[in-house]
Structure 1
Amino acid sequence: MQAAHPAGVTAPAAAPAVSTTLAYLPVGTFGAVMGLTGLSLAWRLAHQAFGAPAAVGQAIGVLALVSFVVLAVAYGIKAAAGFYAVRAEFAHPVAGNLFGTPLISLLLLPFLLADVSLALARLAWVLGAAGMTVFAWTIVMRWLSVRHAPTQVAPAWIVPVVGMLDIPLAVPVLRWDGLHGVMVFGLAVGLFFALPLLAMVLHRLVTEEPLPVALQPSLLILVAPFAVGFSAYVATFGHVDAFAQGLVMVMLFLLPVLLGRLAHLPARAPFRLAWWAGSFPLAAAAVASLRYASVAGSAVMDAIALVVLGVATLVIGMFGVQTVRGILAGKLRELS
């Protein structure tokens, strides 16, 4: 007799060997692609503004592309071996929101692909924009249709919102006319839902039990609506005004609070793949800081931008080293 699996689905007879290998792989691991792509863009901006080595941003970009291909193949194998595992993950009230991470990755990859193949960059963006919109609709309908316990509200709920904010980011490098309305659509939807979701998450953090230790790095997602919102706003309207400046200021206020909250985490808990959820918000904060510094004309803002870039590079580098070490040691399952 075959064993019963989640969602009442029985695994095919030929699937167990592969399913046992990759069923544990969380879709949120695509957060690594997001973080590496964002960090690559940040180093490119640092090269333009401060003469940082161009090779750093290029090397990180190659790592991001390789990571996307590897994860896409691995998660495809997981889905083919036992789709019940994917369906159960999507139905989860927290993990289901992380299905936005591969779609956000597609929206960010054009930054790396545009100079190599404009057609491929455009294809990635179209797939990401269409998929992200459908995904956001699906998640919002779930929020409105299913009653959730307060403890199920988590920073990961913000991912679909951040995904909509990512739609405008790469449009300037696509060299496509007529997309301004699409950019405004992504920006408006993302910003509209950001405020109530942030309020819900903060209420949960203040009034309920703390997040599990493995999920605490996801607190950095609270920075993302402001960091990505700034970059999306500037990409859409082409200038930094008082509203855009306000987004950066909120980000710069919130980032030290969250980093201070997480400073002692590496000493208290072993690394988990879920920690990658904090990589993209850090990279996005570095990008926003560098973009704002380029127009602020302030030595203080230049210093702040370089500090944020250094912190993002250090943290994401640590995540990368721990992940590679786990893979080489054959402990990827334990990290998931």
Structure 2
Amino acid sequence: MNTITGEKPAFPAGTASTSTIAALPVALFGSVMGLTGLALAWRSAHAHFSVPSWIGAGLGWMAIFAFVAVTAGYACKVLTAGTAVRDEFNHPIAGNMFGTPLISILLLPLLLADLSLPLARAFWAAGAIGMSVFAWFIVSRWMRGAQQPVHATPAWIVPVVGMLDVPLALPALQWPRLHGVAMFGLAIGLFFALPLMTLILSRLMFQEPMPESLRPSLMIMLAPFAVGFSAYASTTGHVDDFATALYMLMLFMLAVLLGRLRNLPACSTFKVSWWAVSFPLSASATAAIRYASHSPNRYTDGIAIAVLVIATVVIAGLLIRTLWGIARGELRAVMT
């Protein structure tokens, strides 16, 4: 079964390795997003809690390695299984996940800026342009009509609300003249978050329950608030009442969604689609630490530590289980 759509994929004839490559979902870039987000969260923890800096640095290198590995794997899929890529792109649910490599490219400059500012700026420019074009394409496709209510899943948040990732790296890139671009990404992301969250909640309330393979994607519903908080703070340069409201909404949604997902390991076998929980959790940790820095007290610090621990434990578990599956030759099984 396809871990994003709940449908059985059709692989081109060929060797087992070819079929495995054809099964590689573009959503696996969610692992890059999760590792990058966790590295940034631990960097923030170093600044606020004085934890060792090597934790964030080590996670950053892991994120860069994961990006190279997943990019190479998906490039092989493009070259050897073009039909599978085209079908994935045209699918009303899976197609939205093509925003994950673009978001990865927007996040990596936060890690690359200390290594090479020109390289970080080049990555960000490619990601910002690509994300804007992709968001335009997806919104245009939605407006052509013929969308099915059952397809309104959290994956729909990725291509347009993903524009909230555009402003995040700009302070590190030392590009103050691009404030208008930051506002562009912030405005689009926040505006489309409202109708999309309404559609998704309506689908969850009035349609059949989501398939087990799609349940990890529920955590994506955290992103508009967690990333929205960080994007707003990065764009405006301060934390005001609106940013605080986004933070409070993030905490509420985190409590709701953790309750929904706590039994996931018992009801669904491991799939790489579980990585969908990683970036929203790590983004929530970063937002919580940033808010604790703005309003330091034992409550905000305690919340920040708790969210960071949850994100770290979950992502460590996902990484260990993924590597264990690869070592046991289960790569295709955990992807399909």
Once the two structures are superposed, residues 84-123 of structure 1 have per-residue CA deviations (whole angstroms, 9 ceiling, x without a partner) of: 1111000011100000000000000011101111111011
Amino acid paired to 1:298 = N
Once the two structures are superposed, residues 144-203 of structure 1 have per-residue CA deviations (whole angstroms, 9 ceiling, x without a partner) of: 113121111100000013320000000111112310000000000000000100000000
Q: 1:53-202 maps to which residues of 2 (within 5 A)?
A: 53-202=52-201
Cα deviation, residue 254, structure 1: 0.9
Amino acid paired to 1:246 = A
Checking the alignment, whether the CA contact within 8 Å between 2:39 and 2:57 is kept in structure 1 is yes
Partner of 2:4: none
Partner of 1:268: 267
* Number of corresponding residues: 326
Q: 1:301 to 1:10 in 2, by over 3 A?
A: closer
Unpaired runs of 5+ in structure 1?
1-8
Residues 1:277 and 2:276 aligned together: yes
Q: 1:266 to 1:18 in 2, by over 3 A?
A: closer
Once the two structures are superposed, residues 224-276 of structure 1 have per-residue CA deviations (whole angstroms, 9 ceiling, x without a partner) of: 00000000000001000100000000001110110011101112221110111
CA distance in 2, matches of 1:190, 1:163: 6
Checking the alignment, whether the CA contact within 8 Å between 1:36 and 1:60 is kept in structure 2 is yes
Cα deviation, residue 16, structure 1: 5.7
Partner of 2:297: 298
Checking the alignment, whether the CA contact within 8 Å between 2:11 and 2:22 is kept in structure 1 is no
CA distance in 2, matches of 1:318, 1:145: 41
TM-score, length-scaled by structure 2: 0.94
Amino acid paired to 1:232 = A
Partner of 2:250: 251
Cα deviation, residue 10, structure 1: 11
Checking the alignment, whether the CA contact within 8 Å between 2:212 and 2:268 is kept in structure 1 is yes
Checking the alignment, whether the CA contact within 8 Å between 1:162 and 1:228 is kept in structure 2 is no
Cα deviation, residue 19, structure 1: 3.0
**244-253 or 143-152, larger mean C-alpha shift:** 143-152
Partner of 2:210: 211
Relative contact order, higher structure (CA 8 A, sep 6+): 2
Amino acid paired to 1:300 = Y
Once the two structures are superposed, residues 194-222 of structure 1 have per-residue CA deviations (whole angstroms, 9 ceiling, x without a partner) of: 01000000000011111111211111111
